[in-house]
A and B are shown apart, each in its own frame.
Chain A
């Protein structure tokens, strides 16, 4: 599961409001709970995706994985390949393989196994 996906996922349990962002908890018993994988850089795609994601959530989540993004950005930064590359790295190259997503509001836990989050109710 990439951080792009994490940015799009929220809690949908009944009576839960404010179930975003979900907290990422890694499975410490797993030998490879996070992987870094290469992905081709497409400048226009990164700029496009930036307009869709919640940047604050991306900033905070990237920090959890040791990536220090710019706290905020301007339209000038959108032409800065260094900046775009850091976004590309954070959104696409970090893969959460084993862990869980926890709702900050109702505390329900969605497991991530082999990179696939299971968002089904009551699991």
Chain B
């Protein structure tokens, strides 16, 4: 019997499937930076988290790495939600789950929180957003472009998410979100709407050749 500390996800499908390689955002340095930060945070995540949501799941690498981290620490999650606007990404996640015999996941092909009722249902929300500054002509797609196209300052999707997320979190709900220097993270985190609704802390900052990644933790403030 494999002990929990040896639990390992098989991600081969992501790297071997032609459709995925062409149409889905493959794990990259931003992904790995995010996972590092989550690994350092793992002891702060309660042992019994009921519902976790990843917005913009892509290939599923991030959420399943979190799944792996939680399993190794014997922490239980009842159900994971994976939301992505890209149908190829949703199919990729579905296939990776099947290959790993993981069943407690729901996948929705959806644009952010559109079509989802606000029920304070999630304990934990993770988002590695499209953060690259782009022109408007790259916005409003449902393919791989949606994985990076962030519009003005690369933060249009980030703001759409942050200005809506509050009512989807339960009272002790936590968000982990990745931002990049071009998004002007300090401006975002000092925005009135954010400071009145969340307690923010910077978990990790990592500089690479082309970008500086910031991983933030937002804890819901209950009025």
Q: Which residues of A contact B (CB under 8 A)?
A: 1-2, 4-5, 7-12, 20, 37, 39, 42, 44-45, 48-49, 52-53, 92, 114-121
B120 engages A116 (CB within 8 Å): no
Report the separation of the CA atoms of residues A39 and B94 in the bound assembly, to the nearest whole angstrom: 17
Q: Cβ of B94: which chain A residues have Cβ within 8 Å of it? A: 114-116
Q: Cβ of B120: which chain A residues have Cβ within 8 Å of it? A: 52
Query: In the complex, which of the residues A5, A44, A121 contacts B48, with contact meaning CB atoms closer than 8 Å?
Result: A44
Q: Cβ of A121: which chain B residues have Cβ within 8 Å of it? A: 111
Q: Cβ of B106: which chain A residues have Cβ within 8 Å of it? A: 1-2, 4-5
A48 and B50 contact, Cβ closer than 8 Å, known pairs A10-B117, A118-B87: yes
> Which 6 pairs of residues, A with B, have the shortest CB-CB distance?
A119-B115, A118-B109, A12-B115, A119-B110, A52-B119, A45-B78
B142 within 8 A of A: yes
Q: Which residues of B contact A (CB under 8 A)?
A: 48, 50-51, 76, 78-79, 81, 85, 87, 90-91, 94, 103-104, 106-111, 114-117, 119-121, 142
14 pairs from A and B in contact (CB 8 Å cutoff): A2-B106, A7-B117, A8-B119, A42-B78, A48-B50, A49-B51, A52-B119, A116-B90, A117-B108, A119-B109, A119-B110, A120-B85, A120-B110, A120-B142
User: Within the complex, what minimum Cβ distance (angstroms) separates B72 from chain A?
Assistant: 18
A120 engages B109 (CB within 8 Å): yes
A115 engages B107 (CB within 8 Å): yes
Report the separation of the CA atoms of residues A92 and B81 in the bound assembly, to the nearest whole angstrom: 13
Report the separation of the CA atoms of residues A4 and B50 in the bound assembly, to the nearest whole angstrom: 13
Interface centre among A4, A114, A116, A121 (most CB of B within 10 A): A116
Chain A residue at minimal CB-CB distance from B111: A120
Interface centre among B78, B90, B107 (most CB of A within 10 A): B78
Q: Cβ of B111: which chain A residues have Cβ within 8 Å of it? A: 119-121
Report the separation of the CA atoms of residues A2 and B107 in the bound assembly, to the nearest whole angstrom: 10
Q: Cβ of A9: which chain B residues have Cβ within 8 Å of it? A: 108, 115-117
Q: Cβ of B48: which chain A residues have Cβ within 8 Å of it? A: 44
Q: Cβ of A12: which chain B residues have Cβ within 8 Å of it? A: 114-115
Query: In the complex, which of the residues B90, B104, B107, B116 contacts A8, with contact meaning CB atoms closer than 8 Å?
Result: B116
A116 and B109 contact, Cβ closer than 8 Å, known pairs A10-B115, A12-B115, A48-B50: yes
